[in-house]
Amino acid sequence: MIGNYRDALGEALVRVGSEVEDLVVVTADVSKSTQSIRFQQRYPARFVSVGIAEQNAVGVAAGIASFGLPVIFTAYAMFATERPYEQIRNMVAYPRLNVKVIATHGGINVGEDGVTHQAVEDIAIMRAIPGMAVAAVADPGEVTAAVRAVVRNKGPAYLRIPRAASEILHRESEVTFALGKAETLRAGQDVTLIGIGMMVWECLQAAERLSAEGIQARVLNMRTVKPLDAQALLAAATETGAIVTAEDHNCCGGLGGAVAEYLVAHCPIPMEQVALRDTFARSGEAGALLAAFGLTADEIRAKARVVVERKGNMRIGSIC
């Protein structure tokens, strides 16, 4: 079943807004496309739009948060993280203010609008900021739980939401979303496929195909790139001995980078990444773009076969 993120985010903001009575939403002239307009309609006194001025929006959010109110700043990932990067770093993260950057339009699944609107560095740059939590949702069913989790977690956080309609993986009422906790979607002993965002679904499809070929893949929805779920990662490394990461993001500094940093230090098993190969994408229909740039179940399957091959008869116990 397919669902869309716009409705999910609008609903999430209203619901979390009813639970957290002093929550403020700041946006920058994208209240319709993020559906934060629904929060505005319900709680007009707690909604601020500063117009097309994202740098100012982050400063305003920081000021509101410094007054003791939790704030969500919502816009497209490109303009929510990359335009006001320094403001987030110096005005929000350094003083550890309670500002949550919740961005839609993360990744090339943005599609037709093209490269200027496709954030493929946002996870890397947010992750590079000390103390910044970084999370991503894998389907519309996770959005409310994810928004609630970042709002309830004290301090600065980034939550990334895709744009394109997605397969529904979760029944909303059944989701428990906690920062630093991965979700195991499929058991397996031969290789672990770790996805975030829309690539989680592709990991599941890849696991199906691998299973038919005699390779049993574990699938993790990593959910938070920072903090990583070290326990789940170490278990995946020691129990399956091979890892493939998958993300709609550039290959530098995102999920793949975070997992690689961890593995090198703790359990250096064979690992491959499915991500953009240090290139910009282009305009096009989301599905066609993801296929053209190798962000597919087939690519994950192929990389899984590579790491399983490399693992060979390696004795994991001797290196981890």
Partner 1 sequence: MLSANQRQALELMARTIRRHVIEMTWRAQSGHPGGSLSIAEILSVLYFSEVRYDARQPSAVDRDRVILSKGHAAPALYAALVEAGFFPRSELKRLRSIQGLLEGHPCVSIPGVDVTSGSLGLGLSAGCGIALAARMTDHDQVRVYVILGDGELNEGPVWEAAMTAAHFHLDSLVAIVDRNRYQNDGATADIMGTEPLAQKWKSFGWNVVEIDGHDVEQVANAFDCARGMKGRPTVVIASTVKGSGVSYLLDRPDLHYKAPTTEQKDLSLRELGFEQGPDDE
Per DSSP, helices labelled H in the chain are: 5-19, 37-42, 54-66, 77, 85-87, 122-127, 143-152, 199-212, 230-240, 255-266, 286-292, 297-311
CA–CA separation, 154 vs 133, rounded Å? 10
Beta-bridge partner residues of 136: 160
Nearer to partner 1, 48 or 292 (CB): 48
Residue selected from 74, 87, 104, 250 as contacting partner 1 according to rule CB under 8 A: 87
45 is a site residue for partner 1 (CB under 8 A): yes
80 is a site residue for partner 1 (CB under 8 A): no
Beta-bridge partner residues of 301: none
Among the listed ranges 63-71, 110-118, 152-160, 250-258, the one in contact with partner 1 (CB under 8 A) is: 63-71
Nearest to 119 by CA among 92, 80, 164: 80
Residue selected from 15, 29, 53, 216 as contacting partner 1 according to rule CB under 8 A: 53
Nearer to partner 1, 55 or 184 (CB): 55
Residue selected from 46, 127, 160, 223 as contacting partner 1 according to rule CB under 8 A: 46
Among the listed ranges 85-93, 110-118, 134-142, 218-226, the one in contact with partner 1 (CB under 8 A) is: 85-93
* Residue 302 CB partners (closer than 8 Å, separation 6+): none
* Residue 22 C-beta: closest distance to partner 1, Å: 8
Nearest to 169 by CA among 190, 183, 156: 183
Residue selected from 7, 19, 22, 112 as contacting partner 1 according to rule CB under 8 A: 22
Q: Which residue has the tokens 């906690």?
A: 178
Helix and strand totals (H; E) in the chain: 12, 14
* Residue 26 C-beta: closest distance to partner 1, Å: 8
Residue selected from 50, 101, 108, 244 as contacting partner 1 according to rule CB under 8 A: 50
* Residues near partner 1, by CB under 8 A: 22, 24, 45-46, 48, 50-51, 53, 55-69, 86-87, 90-91, 94-95
